[in-house]
Chain A
Amino acid sequence: MTQVVDEKVKSGATVTFEDVTVAYGDNTVLDHVSATVPAGSATAIVGPNGAGKTTLLLSLLGEVSYQGKILFRNSQTENGAVYKPRIGYVPQRLSFDRGMPLTVLEFMVMGWQRMPLWFGVHAEFRERAMELLGFVKAEQLETRRLGALSGGELQRVLLALALGQEPDLLVLDEPAAGVDIRGGFLFCELLEKIRQTKRFTQLMVSHDLATVTHHATHVICLNRNVAAEGHPKQVLTNETLTAIFGLHMGLIDRRAMPEGGTTCTASCCNGDCRECDQSEGRRSSVRLRAGGSGMLQSEKAESGSEENGACDCGCGGHGKGDDA
């Protein structure tokens, strides 16, 4: 089910950050960030607080002015032509007036339907909205007031709204925040299924390493500049984590996962970690850089990623060892 999407049939946008710098006055939030979000990937941006994760996302969305370039390409524009992708955005916290009378159905169609909602929702748009709500398992919320939804429900509805954009690129800010671990896990499971059906590129910001290891196929470690980039298993080593977070955080214990994490659905695992270790190890290139604050010794890091044959995603059973 979670087969890594074949290079040839990949769709979705490729995003290239080239020397992106954002400064608020003297405070440099992003310092010459260069990174790539591969087409069809589930890319996660990780990093400590204040690392500029959200700023990078806002630059991408055009909400923050920046120096440098952010380029979008897709498989149809293979010759390198740049295009403007359709972006779906799931914000971290939607600050809105919760007392406002607005049903979930009205919320879904307000971007499509021109006829004012005073005259009701057109059958055609309702059908489309219900299909999207079905994707995120939220059909039953149709007539509920948006303000009365729980955090998890609202998040799924926001995802449905973003999917309604038919995105080439789905951008999520902290998808696991505001819901409990189980809720976040289920949300990411759902997201992964949808991504593989609809074939878009997914870019998320997360500080939750469990989410990242389970659901990302590509990781960008950010701490004002890019400290490391590549497959989660190669990038999220103890060395890199220590380098960007300062303190070693480790990866989440597998016992915290639903059903004891016996069925790992992470993209990296594919049910057999040993096998995917080998293939992934060859395919993805890991880039490690000495970060300004992190002072990562690249020699040590390289040897670390070589010896690190174990699956760090906490799936259990398949890895050669739990930790290096």
Chain B
Amino acid sequence: MIAVAADMERETMPDLMDLLSLLPKIIPMECMESGFVQRALFGLVLLAPMAACMGVQVVNFRMAFFADAISHSAFAGVAIGLLFAANPHWTMLVLGLLVGLSIMAVQRRSSLSSDTVIGVFFSAVIAFGLTVVSHYKNVARDVNQFLYGGITTIDTTELWELMALFVVLMAFQVWGYNRMLYIGMNPSLAQVHRVRVAIYQYLYAALLALVVIFSVWAVGVLLVTAMLIVPAASARNFSRTAGGMVWWAMAISVFSAVAGLLISTQPWADTATGATVILIAFLCFLISAGVAYLRGDSSR
């Protein structure tokens, strides 16, 4: 699917450029004139709703640690890229996918608790990454990208990949949101009541892995989990229904992404984009916590 997107890109590249050049008209700010801010904004506007949607399930099913493990596998992905002289972008994606699916497979079969299973994988990928990276001394650029992300260096190929992922992921969410809710409540109950739990779980793990790896690319490994859970956690405070929670999460996520990018590119700020985005999201969370407190359901 990503290869197809890359083919399409060669044919329809001008369209995307046209689209991007519209952005300064929508947001009339000086910083919007530069191409990298346009691409970054477009990338974030694609990534934010995806992270928000998946984040709703991450929060409701307590899977933050799972997302964390996948994001850290990106480090091992960079290491594999070094070993085989491959593009780290691809090795990160493939390894993230592998780790996500393996954790899900072991979790479904093992009697170990899920955080133990995840912890085992987590430490393995980190150890592998450290071992390899410690051998190669001059990999500072890749490691920096891994730690802090670089949404402002995103190119049009990556934007096409993101768009393809966006379509697939949103299709999955529309198709499976209700059943995922069922599985999240209680997998055994869902299974007995004829929900095909395994398919949903594997698809979810795969898509989550892809979103997480793209988020590592955008905001860096330290902030990936935040990108997933902060908007969803705020949404949980604002919303009273499972349906409404998704809209809240998406709104908060897109708002903080756009606001974070615009602030970080102002000359007076000149901050790391990823961190600024998360800070804005955190402000939304504080407001939501206040709302929840005033409404008096903080104790429940």
Contacts and interface: CB of A to CB of B under 8 A. Distances in A.
Judge: A and B partners, yes or no: yes
Interface of A: 61-63, 86-89, 91, 94-103, 106-107, 109-111, 113-121, 145, 147-148, 161-162, 165, 171
A117 B178 contact: yes
B245 interface: yes
Contacts of A63: 188, 191-192
Contact of B241 (A62, A91, A101, A165): A101
B178 A145 contact: no
Interface string B154-194: 00000000000000000001110111011011101111111
Contact of A88 (B179, B191, B193, B297): B193
B236 interface: yes
Given A106-B241, A116-B174, A116-B178, A87 B192 contact: yes
Which residue of B181, B194, B241 has the most chain A CB atoms within 10 A of its CB atom? Answer: B241
Given A61-B191, A103-B242, A116-B246, 4 more contacts: A63-B192, A94-B186, A117-B181, A117-B241
A91 B189 contact: yes
Interface in B225-241: 236, 239-241
B194 A110 contact: no
A97 B189 contact: no
B60 interface: yes
Contacts of B297: 148
A101 B192 contact: no
A204 to B, nearest CB: 15
A148 B177 CA distance: 22
Contacts of A91: 186, 188-189
A114 B192 contact: no
Nearest to B190: A111
Contacts of A107: 185
A168 to B, nearest CB: 13
B244 interface: yes
Contacts of B193: 87-89, 111, 161-162, 165
Contacts of A165: 193-194
Given A61-B192, A110-B181, A98 B300 contact: yes
A103 B240 contact: yes
A62 B182 CA distance: 18
Contacts of A61: 188, 191-192
Given A61-B192, A94-B189, A118-B247, A111 B242 contact: no
A116 B60 contact: no
Which residue of B177, B181, B192 has the most chain A CB atoms within 10 A of its CB atom? Answer: B192
B76 to A, nearest CB: 31
Nearest to B186: A94
Contacts of B239: 101
B58 to A, nearest CB: 12
A111 B240 CA distance: 20
Contacts of A87: 192-193
A120 B241 CA distance: 9
A95 B186 contact: yes
Contact of A117 (B60, B61, B236, B242): B242
B243 A100 contact: no
Nearest to B195: A111
B181 to A, nearest CB: 5
Contacts of B178: 109-111, 113-117
A162 B190 CA distance: 10
Contacts of B184: 96
A153 to B, nearest CB: 14
A97 B60 contact: yes
Nearest to B173: A116
A61 B193 CA distance: 10
B186 A96 contact: yes
B236 A99 contact: yes
B179 A111 contact: yes
A63 B191 CA distance: 9
A63 B247 CA distance: 35
Contact of B242 (A98, A101, A162): A101
A102 B242 contact: yes
A96 B242 contact: no
Contact of B236 (A101, A113, A119, A120): A101
